[in-house]
Amino acid sequence: MSRPSFSLLPLTITAACFFAVSPAHAAQGDNEIKILAIGAAAPDFDLPGVDGKNHRLADYAAADVLAVVFLCNHCPSAQGAESRVKALIETYADKSFQLVAISPNDPASVRLNELGYSIYGDTLEEMKLHAAEYAFNFPYLYDGGNQSVSLAFGVTATPQIFLFDKERRLCYSGRIDDSRLGNPDTIKKHDAREAIAAILAGTAIAEPVTRAHGCSTKWAAKRHLVDEYNAKFEARPVTVEKIDEEAVKKLAANSTDKLRLVNLWATWCGPCLGEMPHLVEIGRQFETRGFDMITISTDAPEAIEKAGTLLKRFHAAMPDLTEGSVLEEGRRTNNYLYHGTTDSLAEALDPEWQGTLPHTLLIAPGGKVLHRFSGEIDPTELRRVIVKTLGRWYAPG
């Protein structure tokens, strides 16, 4: 995505804020969209919210300052900004200030491995779950249907904030603050907060346009990239090898820097087959986070061909980044069939395992078992545990 370019024209004064028309452009498919210029009128909207109601621009006419911030569920930068958004609301709770959040993304244009920081994707139903889980105290609206509102604003990233005065003329657009990290302690300049204060005071905003930093908007025109990504994964080979007690002990010891998910299953186990598609999806989802999803069949050795056939039907292949890390360990696959007894497998992998299937472990680097799932997994709960462990926003180091 190209950075915005700015050209300042002579200042024009309105009743509430000073502004200069500052056009900028961003790519959307094969077309170019224009980022809303300073001084432009607020684009109208009529969008469904997580509260089950439709929200319109006119609903917020009473506020002297209206903030429209573009967020989404999956982006680590947007998730890191959630505390900042709540802080803005708290700071100006006694002022004539209103904030509305909009998700601009087309959910079908988000690749699975872009969800590595999140429990939920960007559909409206998942937005409802996300907003409830993280106690949103502001309207959260969905524009992923036709993205017309996002196009009108010219949204380049999540998060990105637009501040309007009483006449609903744009006074500020860009970042909420100067930190790219999720930790609020890393903020040095509160750009949006300073801009809101200036609008309320009727004074000039020192820097009315800043560069938003975050995940690029997922435009529907990019759906073909998701199709290509999925087709590439479907073409990857699915392999299975036999594994013995000593090799299982090495897997359990997890001498890597990866978070490791190990699933015990069998071809005759209905719940095992029921959860396998979710496990494959989770393996793909977190491949960019240093994550390893391993299956170990407990079938008899002569059933290895049958186990391989089922794994191929579920397409339990290794994603690109996972395969790279597996090869670095000197292994060739993440799918195994155990050659030995149930007792020896339990002693090698998890002495607390009672022998029931399926059985799934989340193992930290160094071998500590962080979580056990005895029986069929709840995919959302498993994602929740993984995200809690790995973190839901970017942190260096």
Per-residue confidence (pLDDT) for residue 4, from 0 to 100: 33
What are 203-219's pLDDT values in tens digits? 999 999 999 999 999 99
Q: Of 20-34, 165-179, 287-301, which gets the smallest average pLDDT?
A: 20-34
At residue 181 the predicted structure's pLDDT band, cuts being 50, 70 and 90, is: confident
Per-residue confidence (pLDDT) for residue 23, from 0 to 100: 38
Closest CA to 75 of 104, 99, 47: 104
- Please give the angle made by the CA atoms of 374, 354 and 240, to the nearest 5 degrees: 70
Closest CA to 220 of 139, 122, 127, 131: 122
pTM of the model as a whole: 0.91
CB 106 within 8 A of CB 147: yes
Give the pLDDT mean for 19-42. 66
Per-residue confidence (pLDDT) for residue 15, from 0 to 100: 40
CB 258 within 8 A of CB 287: no
Q: How many residues does the chain have?
A: 397
Per-residue confidence (pLDDT) for residue 7, from 0 to 100: 31
Which one is predicted more confidently, 195 or 12? 195
Give the pLDDT mean for 191-195. 97
Statement: residue 20 has pLDDT above 50: no
| HSE-CB of 14 using CA atoms within 13 angstroms | 22
Burial degree of 78 (CB within 10 A; 0-12, 13-18, 19+): buried
% of the chain with per-residue pLDDT over 70: 92
Dist. CA 109–CA 227, nearest whole Å: 9
Structural domains of the chain, with CATH: 12-222 (3.40.30.10), 236-390 (3.40.30.10)
Per-residue confidence (pLDDT) for residue 31, from 0 to 100: 56
At residue 2 the predicted structure's pLDDT band, cuts being 50, 70 and 90, is: very low
Q: For residue 302, give the amino acid letter.
A: E
Per-residue confidence (pLDDT) for residue 3, from 0 to 100: 33
Per-residue confidence (pLDDT) for residue 150, from 0 to 100: 98
Give the pLDDT mean for 21-42. 69
Statement: residue 94 has pLDDT above 90: yes
What are 106-154's pLDDT values in tens digits? 999 999 999 999 999 999 999 999 999 999 999 999 999 999 999 999 9
Give the pLDDT mean for 2-14. 33
What are 286-343's pLDDT values in tens digits? 999 999 999 999 999 999 999 999 999 999 999 999 999 999 999 999 999 999 999 9
Statement: residue 10 has pLDDT above 90: no
Give the pLDDT mean for 92-97. 97
Statement: residue 250 has pLDDT above 50: yes
Statement: residue 263 has pLDDT above 60: yes
Statement: residue 386 has pLDDT above 50: yes
Beta bridge partners of 33: 26
Per-residue confidence (pLDDT) for residue 32, from 0 to 100: 73
What is the enclosing helix (H) or strand (E) of 379?
helix 379-390
Per-residue confidence (pLDDT) for residue 17, from 0 to 100: 63
Per-residue confidence (pLDDT) for residue 13, from 0 to 100: 35
Per-residue confidence (pLDDT) for residue 254, from 0 to 100: 98
At residue 397 the predicted structure's pLDDT band, cuts being 50, 70 and 90, is: low
Q: Of 10-14, 52-56, 77-81, 325-329, which gets the smallest average pLDDT?
A: 10-14
Closest CA to 264 of 248, 284, 283: 248
Give the pLDDT mean for 219-231. 97
